[in-house]
Each structure stands twice: as C-alpha cells, then as structure tokens.
Amino acid sequence: MDDNNNEKTREESIAKLKELINDIDFAMLTTINGGHLRSRPMSTQEYEGSDTLWFFTSDETHKVDEIEADNRVNVAYSRPDDNVYVSISGRASVSKDRAKMEELWNPILKAWFPEGLEDPTLCLLKVNIEEAEYWDSPNSKLVQLAGFVKAIVTGKPAEGGEYGRVSL
C-alpha cells in the first residue's frame, strides 16, 4: 500500500480503514444492473478490520437480483465534515446464516424489518473486500484553502492529506 510514498503493512492499512469507516453508519452500495451502475444507501452492520462487510437486506430487493447476476460491488463511505472518503471494491453474496444474523441483529433494525429475525425475506449481504482506497485530510477547511492558494501561487500540487490503497 502506498501512503504518500511511505510503505504501510497490510495490518496498518486495515487498521486505518477500520478507523475511518467505524464512525460512518451509512454507505452507498453500488451494484451493476444490466450494464448500468445503481447506488443506494446501506447501513453497515459489521466491519471489524477483516476483509468482510455485512449489511442486512431483504432477499426480495433489486440489489439481491443484481448481485446474483453480477456480484461485483463498490461501497463508498464519506464524512465530508472531516474530509474522510473511502471506496471499497469487492464481491457480494447473499447469506441466510441464522447465527450471523442473530450476532449482528440490533432492535433498531425493526424500523426496516418489522418482523425482526422472523422475517422470512431477511438476509445478509456479505461483501468480500478485494481492494480499498481512502483519503483522509484532517486539516480544517481554512488550512485546506490556504494550501490550495499556495499551490496556485507556487505551481506545485496541493497536499491532500493521507491517501492509502490496500488489496485484501
């Protein structure tokens, strides 16, 4: 993984990824529908710093049909106020693993699944991460603006904070 020309270990990269997405509840899940890209918001149920993301859904949704036809997906996270952006590419699959559903279940999910764990259409989307990229610019907007002005005046590229890429 390249991080402003500094090498990071795979473990450091995964830890950084976990740090960045842990506080972002909703992500945009993009699937492929007949050659067209479709995105929708999804609430991440688990990412513990491994190579897997988990989401609850219904097996009667278009995204499940799309994943069964082409399992390539992208999951994009953003926290613009903190200048944090993450893009995850991987392969999705549908799981009816009851033990995993019980492990991840949260009563607030009843807002979307009123029958709870007894909903016969309830399932999990499992995204096996193949590659992830992140951008993390901890500077304030004012510091960033000053950096952009400096870049324009000096003709040198603006520093954009920390960038990383990891293949899992």
Superfamily in which the 2-167 domain is placed by CATH: Electron Transport, Fmn-binding Protein; Chain A (2.30.110.10)
- Residue 162: per-residue pLDDT: 59
Tokens of 149: 């002005």
Mean pLDDT by 10 residues, the chain (168 residues): 53 83 92 95 84 94 96 95 91 96 94 95 95 76 41 52 65
The full set of domain ranges for the chain reads: 2-167
pLDDT digits (tens, 9 = 90+) for 154-165: 555 545 555 666
User: What is the spatial distance between Cα 44 and Cα 21, in angstroms, rounded to a whole number?
Assistant: 9
First to last CA, the chain: 11
The model's pTM is: 0.79
